[in-house]
A and B are shown apart, each in its own frame.
Chain A
């Protein structure tokens, strides 16, 4: 893993680059480990409270530890009518966790998301930002099997 300090410092000269830095850290760790906030605050000349405020504003960023595979399930209207609810339930049952939780082995985190912009093929989920489209509950085991 790349050192958080180094990741963030590489954005130092980018005005307003804190969000880019957060994305870069999250790409590496799947969430923003605690020290991210202090390091980012110091790097971008703002306070920790301000950095924390930024990090918690954006739903794509997480300050809570997440699993290796973050499954975000869209439930916006087009996905909703295409059966998102059943799909969500299927994931919850398959992983034996509720939305917002992480499996005990730290492998999967289930999250809801709003639209991810793949509405031609609903319902849609993303796994670590890669979209999987046109899913139905029956495909859940196969989708999970892709995560190795």
Chain B
């Protein structure tokens, strides 16, 4: 049986998150110290070699991402994406609440690698209490001179899920409407205030101190070779234990739900699990033995994404839940591009019609073509991912839709 393996949560519940001294005692800031002894290119090479992939939606090789920042850029920024807005996700909050310094240390390591003097943490507006903790942590680190000439500022989001998209996030830090930019240019070349910018999320940064300290080989040997390391997951919905865990990426969904989650609540039967948050695909029982690493998940039309594991038992109404998810995207679409702005709205309307038992087969056909176009035509990840729950439920749970139609 797979066991928990803690890298980013190594200090969780073992130290007082409000005391930097605790963190130091637990080996904190030794990674940064080591990183600073390395040249920028060596540091980036090490991270590349560890094959640490971004713990967000795209799973891009972290070191490779950093290497896009031009070496001669006079100004560059390190931005931490702490805008986790995926329903069912709270792992970044757990990481920060239990060990904020590991995030700061990770950002400072990145700052050294890309020669940046300024970092920003973009924290979702729903976490004002975490912002306070972060500011305290930054003050402590600054006070001890640990960050050197690298400074970190916390910015608050404002309840816009789309700002989890890196370019929308950048727009928001700049004080604009959080509408995604088209790419290229990528942030590594022209990001925040048109300067080269690295955007990674909390979990990615929090991995860095251990990787630097223990070496890339150590990290690369953990979990799945193509997506090494661990993943912090949050279990929600109808599992017995709604917990957060950190496991090697070789763990399977079944292990997570049954071994860590304690199986389905109240002895009911499993029906579906949605992984990666609300934009993830729905996975039926038959695919539960798939490992959670990014590529395996993608292979079954799902996404590891934010590591949300939302479990639904046999009594759950898939059409109703998918309707509710469609509403989420209707609410969160930024409105910049046509297919998403109009598509999320119409998809929700069609789902409501189906959910209310008023739909006919043509409506499902319309929903399908709309979803297929959105996947390929939308400007950013939000619109591209929004149809996933619809398409995967249509695929795996079609009878439930059919049963709702006026004329079967």
Contacts and interface: CB of A to CB of B under 8 A. Distances in A.
Contact, chains A and B (beta carbon distance below 8 A) = yes
Interface of A: 15-20, 22-23, 44, 53-54, 57-61, 75-81, 113-122, 126, 129-130
Interface string B351-395: 000000000000000000000000000000000000000000000
Contacts of B316: 81
Interface in B262-319: 274, 278, 308, 310, 312, 316
A66 B97 CA distance: 30
27 contacts: A19-B155, A19-B175, A23-B156, A44-B175, A53-B177, A58-B178, A59-B160, A76-B324, A77-B274, A77-B325, A81-B312, A81-B316, A114-B332, A115-B86, A115-B88, A115-B278, A117-B84, A117-B85, A117-B90, A117-B127, A119-B87, A119-B90, A119-B242, A120-B243, A120-B244, A122-B236, A129-B128
Contacts of B174: 15-16
A19 B172 contact: yes
B176 A54 contact: yes
Nearest to A23: B156
Nearest to A119: B236
A3 B127 CA distance: 25
B328 interface: yes
A57 B89 contact: no
Given A15-B174, A57-B178, A121-B242, A81 B87 contact: no
Given A61-B158, A113-B159, A119-B308, A129 B126 contact: yes
Given A59-B160, A117-B127, A77 B175 contact: no
Contact of B175 (A16, A78, A81, A116): A16
What are the 5 tightest A-B residue pairs by CB atom distance, in nearest-first order? A58-B158, A60-B159, A16-B175, A76-B87, A115-B87
A133 B280 CA distance: 24
Nearest to A22: B158
Contacts of A53: 177
A117 B334 contact: no
A133 to B, nearest CB: 11
Contacts of A79: 87
A117 B308 CA distance: 11
Nearest to B312: A81
Contacts of B86: 115
Contacts of A114: 85, 87, 159, 161, 328, 331-332
B160 A58 contact: yes
A126 B310 contact: no
B234 interface: yes
A18 B172 CA distance: 10
B28 interface: no
Given A114-B328, A119-B234, A78 B155 contact: no
Contacts of B179: 57
Given A59-B160, A114-B87, 5 more contacts: A23-B125, A77-B87, A77-B310, A114-B331, A115-B89
A36 B310 CA distance: 40
Nearest to A85: B324
B157 interface: yes
A77 B324 contact: yes
Contact of A19 (B85, B89, B156, B312): B156
Among A15, A16, A61: residue with most chain B CB under 10 A: A16
Interface in B135-168: 155-161
- By CB atoms of chain B within 10 A, which of A22, A57, A129, A130 has the most? A57
B158 A126 contact: no
Interface centre among A22, A44, A76, A77 (most CB of B within 10 A): A77
